[in-house]
Chains A and B, each alone.
Chain A
């Protein structure tokens, strides 16, 4: 309990963590609220109200189909969170398993994993996501898959590196000497000790996934209409940039704030969870 209290105390004093957590709360809170309430129907079309400027009824105005922009941004947060979270969870699940396996087995498993990671890193990520989404069809599910694939080598590398360092530690050697198998050691000793590194990485990858989802849906390869997504809203806004320039402001601002929040939270967590890094950064 005291460890949690110490962490909370330090977290409260950490500027980057505080701003990041606040922005993340705003982001998640908006998505959650939109499940129950939005000012107007996010998919309600009203052609006679198209391209209206901000007003008391429509706080952020309306789009080219007369839909309420604020409501669409609120529901768009759900899409971003769902795609980002699923992609990172999927990529993390597979990547951590592979990385931990490579660190435990070494030899050819390790070599094969490193080479496959190099291969995936050699591809421009956006292009492979485009390739996958265009072959499998444009949908939020396929966007999740395309983004998840790039998270696998990231998590595999991070886990492998951190786990390899753990395998050399005395308490792990002691567990080996006591006859514990590699799976048991990985689950009971290695993974809990590399968890903080993984949490930091997951936060940063979540930010990357939100950017990737926005990019894919801007290209029309993410969630399909009428489901609101921030990237798609920007695409539509661009067509009407001369009539309603402000339409292009809000969805982009939403993406930037969400990503900024997660990046700052990630930086803060890295400082708070890894004292060695904190010393290095201060120095």
Chain B
């Protein structure tokens, strides 16, 4: 009688242990699936945002933009020697306040400011 009870207890312990292992495995797989989905969504969001960001870059007009700072023109192939020529540097970054709407991409753009050069002499 005692032996049967012992076997029953051992079986119950084994069942509990196997159940716990199976539950943890299920939990881990579910968690990893969720992490995977979240990562996939994040990557998809990054790509969507990047496409949106690049689209905004393409729509950036040639006109001066507010917030641009005047800098020395960076080295370039089609170089200009006029010392009065200045370039403008603009940091296009997200200004959204909500974290979910925050755009993860930023871009530095520059343009040549020809106003002073065209007015000056050669």
User: Do A and B actually bind?
Assistant: no
Q: Which residues of A contact B (CB under 8 A)?
A: none
Q: Which residues of B contact A (CB under 8 A)?
A: none
